[in-house]
Amino acid sequence: MSNITYLTKEGLEKLEGELQYLKTTKWQEAAAAIAEARDKGDLSENAEYDAAKEAQGLLELKINEMSIMLSNARILDTSELDTSKVVVFTNVKIKNLKNNKSFTYKLVSEAEANLKEKKISVTSPIGSSLLGKKIGEVAEVETPGGILKFEIEDISL
């Protein structure tokens, strides 16, 4: 499996900003929490110190993961995408064949997914089932409640 993350220019800028925020503001907050907990005395029995160190470790892990993701990021020019089939960064209008309701989603990388903005990850069950489909084709998505069928109604940028 590829470690490449495809992003829009805006998505890349957003992630770079978030990483910078983690490396500066959040890192300083974590260091201050450790210093404050250290000042409270015996470190062997100081739960606040242990919690602050654990939070710092989780922050370091998140910074490392984001740095790796950004180092493997590739920006796609959406104007060059083929809209004859569903690919990353296309908008796809689908109809749920069970209830005949239509929805439009934009397929994006996992890093840019946001359901409130109707952006779903290409690695999600729905996103992965839509990839490569053409208008008129039916995608089947396995869910805990059974198989859902979606008809591709439109593909656009």
For residue 97, give the DSSP letter: T
pLDDT one-digit tens code per residue, 112-153: 889 999 999 998 999 999 999 999 999 999 888 889 999 999
Residue 19 buriedness (CB in 10 A; 0-12 / 13-18 / 19+): middle
Please, which residues have CB within 8 angstroms of residue 73's CB and are 6 or more apart in sequence? 4, 5, 6, 7, 12, 15
Type of residue at 14: K
Distance of CA 151 to the CA centre of its chain: 25
Q: Which domains does the chain have, with CATH numbers?
A: 5-75 (1.10.287.180), 78-156 (3.10.50.30)
Interatomic CA distance for residues 100 and 102, integer angstroms = 7
Mean pLDDT of all residues in 74-86: 81
Mean pLDDT of all residues in 80-92: 87
Cβ count within 10 A of residue 109: 24
